[in-house]
Structure 1
Amino acid sequence: MPRIEFYVLSTAVPAERLRAACQLAMKAWRAGLPVFLRGSDAQQCSEVDELLWRFKAESFVPHSLYQDDAHAPVVIGQDEEPSSTQGVLINLGSTLSPQVERFSRVIEIVNQEPDLLTACRENFRSYRQRGYDPKRVEL
């Protein structure tokens, strides 16, 4: 059963949420874990792809969009089945991933946008209803 964590940002700025996702992806990759970064749509996946190239000038995070290389250390996609199991899922979507069970750890990134807060609260409840014990982490 995966460990579920909700990382809560104090800001409502959408770009800060994507930046946090990139930082967490880099940290997990450096720890040797495969990462699947789930975007809400193709546009957000492209934004995350671009941000991973430039968010930290002195570092490089090897990544790829799912359709380009599903076996990259950090894969950016939507609801595709990950090529690696027992890695980290960073969920930027507003719903639960259908692939939750394929990961050892799931990270939901929450900011203070009202619509996103509502969706994340619902996700928290859904995880509990499914028997998970989600935790809250303040960033």
Structure 2
Amino acid sequence: MTRVTFYLLENSQQSAEQFACKLVEKAWRGGLPMHIHTEDESSCVAFDKLLWVWREDSFLPHGIVTGTADSEDNSASIDNLPITLGFDTPSIPQNRLLINLNSEVPQFFTQFNRVCEIVVISPGQKTISRNKFRSYRQLGIEPEVHNLPG
């Protein structure tokens, strides 16, 4: 069964995307391949750019992949990249971590061993996160919650 973890960033000056970069680096250094699921194409491109510049002394080998393309180039990219980004349903190996930066629970989340949800505490974000938390519970998953002080 997929393990789901919510990271609650209380009183934080960093965005969900900035925290995601830290999470990506930690997982990559630990040898864990991952996929980052974004809201749409523009947020995917923006996160791709952020991964290139977020820390001067860091290199995170990543690339954007689409789940709808069945070309050999796309599948080769997936196999060679430890970090993939996308905004649609990916066709990737199941042993990856999913970092969900989308406002909804992706229908394909069960393809992953683990899912990370990042929540920056704010009025609008609270409602979205509570809905996602409820959705996981309705699917029989009891998410873990980590409160991270600002």
Asked if these proteins are the same fold (TM beyond 0.5), I'd say: yes
Taking structure 2 as the reference length, the TM-score comes to: 0.85
Work out whether 1:5 is the aligned partner of 2:5: yes
Whole-angstrom distance in 1 between the partners of 2:124 and 2:40:
16
| Count of residues in correspondence between the two structures | 138
The Cα shift of 1:81 comes to 2.2
Consecutive unaligned residues of structure 2, counting only runs of 5 or more, are 67-73
Whole-angstrom distance in 2 between the partners of 1:59 and 1:82:
27
Residue aligning to 1:20: 19
The AA in structure 1 aligned to 2:23 is L
Residue aligning to 1:60: 59
Deviating above 4 A after TM superposition, structure 1's stretches of 4 or more consecutive aligned residues are none
Whole-angstrom distance in 1 between the partners of 2:41 and 2:11:
24
| Residues 1:44 and 1:113: Cα distance change in structure 2 (over 3 Å) | farther
Consecutive unaligned residues of structure 1, counting only runs of 5 or more, are none
CA RMSD of superposed structures (Å): 1.6
The Cα shift of 1:74 comes to 0.6
Moved more, 15-24 or 50-59: 15-24
Whole-angstrom distance in 2 between the partners of 1:39 and 1:70:
17
| Aligned-pair identity (%) | 37
Work out whether 1:50 is the aligned partner of 2:58: no
Whole-angstrom distance in 2 between the partners of 1:124 and 1:47:
26
Work out whether 1:105 is the aligned partner of 2:114: yes
| Residues 1:56 and 1:82: Cα distance change in structure 2 (over 3 Å) | farther
Whole-angstrom distance in 1 between the partners of 2:93 and 2:27:
14
Whole-angstrom distance in 2 between the partners of 1:76 and 1:106:
14
Q: Is the 8 A contact 2:98 2:112 kept in 1?
A: yes
**For 1:95-139, what per-residue CA distance to the aligned partner results, in whole angstroms no more than 9, with x for missing partners?**
001111111110000012322211110110110111001011112
Residue aligning to 1:132: 141
Q: Is the 8 A contact 1:95 1:123 kept in 2?
A: yes
Larger Rg: 2
Whole-angstrom distance in 1 between the partners of 2:125 and 2:38:
14
